[in-house]
Structures are given as structure tokens and as C-alpha cells.
Amino acid sequence: MPEEVLFADERHQQRSAIADYLRTVADKLDGDGQLNLEAGGESVSLDVPAEVEFEVKVEREGPADGNGEIGFELELEWPENAGSEGDSSLSIR
């Protein structure tokens, strides 16, 4: 199934700023589940359902015998039309 990127933001930040961002996301998920993401004139609003698939991944990219790059990813996934019990919506502005 093809993947369509609806929002993306990548930048270098201090670890403490990333922690603050993740705390805000965690608070929103623990609350009403509504996330509003904005960066560089792009924005997307998500209504995250009460139950989602959660994936944690650590990967190493690069040569087997040399220095590579470590990636740490957190991913939430759910059906786009989750239904009334796990209702989700998406708005791109």
C-alpha cells in the first residue's frame, strides 16, 4: 500500500527541547487525544483514538565495520476510519 506523507518536520534540537515536546504530546494523548502539529507553515490536526498500535524501534544505519547512525523511533498507528468507539479524524491546514 503506498504511503502518503501528510506532515513532516526534521531539525536539530537540544535533548531538553525534545523532552518538552514529547511531554506535551504525552499530555495531549493522556487528555482528549487531539494533537495539533505545526512547522514551517504546515499543520495537521489529529484526533487520536483511545487505543492505537504503538511501536518502538532502534536501528543502526551505515557500514557494518564503521561508524553509522543510530535512529530511535516512536510510532503510533490506527485505522483511518476507526469507527465510533475509536473515532479518529484528520485535518490538514
Domain boundaries, the chain: 15-92
CA distances to 11, 52, 69, 84, 93 from 15, in Å: 12, 26, 17, 38, 28
41 pLDDT exceeds 70?
yes
pTM of the model: 0.81
53-61 and 89-92 as β-strands: parallel, antiparallel, unpaired?
unpaired
User: What digits encode the pLDDT tens for the residues 30-40?
Assistant: 999 999 999 98
The mean per-residue pLDDT over the stretch 19-44 comes to 94
Predicted confidence band at 79 (pLDDT cuts at 50, 70, 90)? very high
Quick one: 9 exposed, middle or buried, by C-beta within 10 A (0-12, 13-18, 19+)? exposed
Predicted confidence band at 84 (pLDDT cuts at 50, 70, 90)? very low
